[in-house]
A = this chain, B = another copy of it.
Amino acid sequence: MKKARAAAAPAQTTVYDLAEKAGVSAMTVSRALSGNGYVAKATRARVLAAAEEMGYFPNIAAKGLKRTRTHVLGMLVNELHSPYLAQIVSAVSLATRRHRMDLFIGLTAHDPDDDSPPAIKHMLSGLCDGLLLALPRSRQLIETVERSGLPAVLLDYSRSGTTLDIVRGDNHDSAKAAVDHLLSLGHRRIAFIAGTSHTGQSPERQRGYLDSLKAAGLAGDPALIVQGGFDQAQAFERTRQLLALSVPPTAVFAASDEMAFGAMDAVRTLGLRVPDDVSIVGYDDIPPSMHTQPGLTTVRQSTTEIAEAAVRLLLQRIDDPVPAAAPIEFASQLVIRGSTGPSPSPG
């Protein structure tokens, strides 16, 4: 038996406390609680009762030290204000549970600009078995994870040059489909509001936009491509400017729903109507998009599938750490609602 614990700290109950209470060894307690190995029914019951009574919680730290699995996955996210990210996090949380693992989420947005951000430091510190990076914005973050050797999967990353596995929603093809839809409605001057390019998603969507125009034999007008920074207010301003052009666009494709909301606001602020005067398409299909007036035509990503695949892949890599395979990409789906209609000036 161990010596008495120091009086100071609010004494967390340990296996030794339980062992004493149940009149067995610590090892038996461990076995009884984990369900591994043989323990007599009665002994087990006594241990469980003691654990219940004393409010015992196994110390994951000590567990992890034994190099056995912690059964915890870590997830790093820049911030949570984006509803799309909230969806991804939620889907990953659910998928994690389905695989009987736990999930810890860390935010990187508020990390100091020092070398390696604290959030990841702890994630990499032997706490979790593997790491999910959702929409990673920083190359440095990715490199740090690569160097750590911890199994990791990137979610919705569309750039090259990483040695990590990637699971993502399609960007190019669905963006092309969105613009094809606008073209089929007779639109010819179609603007694109880009987001930031950190994750490579917005550039891919822009590529889809350009390819659609090209396939229709249209030379894209550079004046119709503006930077919205994935920010609603900024998209609002850019749209106002777009509509002030001598030949304004009749449709706007925004690289995110939130920017599309900003665009809709701008259209209305100028006394115009959606979709009568200007059609609007977004990207992500976040929950509010079905509630706007009119509903927002947008691209829905398969967050559930992306999350499930990412977790499954990560668990595979944890079991068998082989080099990354090619990115896994899920098709996205164009959801047509009321914000798109025939061009007011066809052809």
Contact = CB atoms under 8 A, between A and B. Distances in A.
A276 B251 CA distance: 31
Interface string A149-173: 1110000000000000000000000
Contacts of A70: 61
Interface residues of A, number: 63
A60 B288 contact: no
B90 A81 contact: yes
Number of copies: 2
Given A9-B67, A288-B288, A57 B148 contact: yes
A23 interface: no
- Which of the listed residues A80, A89, A122, A126 has the most CB atoms from chain B within 10 Å of its own CB? A122
Contacts of A125: 57-61, 63
Contact of A107 (B9, B89, B106, B112): B89
B90 A119 contact: no
B86 A80 contact: yes
Contact of A81 (B58, B83, B105): B83
Interface of A: 9-12, 55, 57-65, 67, 70, 72, 79-81, 83, 86-87, 89-90, 93-94, 96-97, 102-107, 109-112, 118-119, 121-122, 124-127, 144, 147-151, 232, 261-262, 265, 268, 287-288, 291, 293, 321
Those 4 A-B pairs whose CB atoms lie nearest each other, nearest first = A61-B61, A60-B125, A105-B105, A61-B64
25 contacts: A10-B149, A10-B151, A12-B149, A55-B144, A55-B149, A59-B64, A60-B61, A62-B126, A63-B125, A72-B122, A81-B87, A81-B90, A81-B287, A89-B107, A90-B109, A93-B109, A94-B110, A97-B112, A102-B119, A102-B121, A103-B106, A103-B107, A104-B104, A261-B291, A288-B288
